[in-house]
Structure 1
Amino acid sequence: MANVNVSLQVLPSVKEENLYEVVDRVIEYIKSSGVKYEVGPMETTMEGELDQLLEIVKEAQNICVKAGAPRVVSMVKIDYKPEGVTMEEKIYKYKK
């Protein structure tokens, strides 16, 4: 299967002062997975095989719960086309 883009925003139900710490754990996991990714102010976008990226999304929920969140709300966006899609093709003209 061709590359897809998946954007993930996790909103763990934790105390305000712990929010970034939990989100940072998710980002560290994404980094350790070896997929191409880009952190934005509201979400992290990943590029790779759909099945692998969905496994990352699934594990992100577990990471938040293990960090003390009794509940996690996540927003997931998937950009798919049969021939593949890259982050670069969408944003190259905005990079300086």
Structure 2
Amino acid sequence: MANSLVSIQILPKPTDGGDVIPLVDEAIRVIDESGVKYEVHPLETTMEGELSQLFLIIEKMNERMIEIGCKNVISQIKVLYQPDGITMDTLTEKYR
């Protein structure tokens, strides 16, 4: 079972001042390719997995933004670390 939930809102700054939505889509693609469970929400994306693995994904997301032409990237991150296990469903099942 996963030991962490990490939510990230990535705010890439394109060098040309253009639309950030395609860049956010690319960041989500990095998450998707990692194979971890995730959910996209209007203002952030939440991932479920091992804490060290999720931080590596965040690092890859930031690096990818620079590779595709961003001047810089702000990542706002929330972390729930629970060594005995945690899932997104555990926290949200009563609302579904």
Confirm or deny a common fold (TM above 0.5).
yes
Gaps of 5+ in 1: none
Instruction: Choose between structure 1 and 2: higher strand proportion.
Output: 2
Residue identity over aligned pairs, in percent, reads 45
Alpha-carbon distance between aligned partners in 2 of 1:32 and 1:51, rounded to the nearest angstrom: 17
When normalised by structure 2's length, the TM-score is 0.90
Gaps of 5+ in 2: none
Alpha-carbon distance between aligned partners in 1 of 2:9 and 2:49, rounded to the nearest angstrom: 17
Compute the RMSD of aligned alpha carbons. 1.4
**Equivalent residue pairs, number:** 94
Alpha-carbon distance between aligned partners in 1 of 2:48 and 2:32, rounded to the nearest angstrom: 12
Is 1:82 aligned to 2:92, yes or no?
no
Instruction: Choose between structure 1 and 2: higher helix proportion.
Output: 1
One-letter amino acid matched to 1:6:
V
Match of 1:22 in 2: 23
Match of 1:6 in 2: 6
When normalised by structure 1's length, the TM-score is 0.90
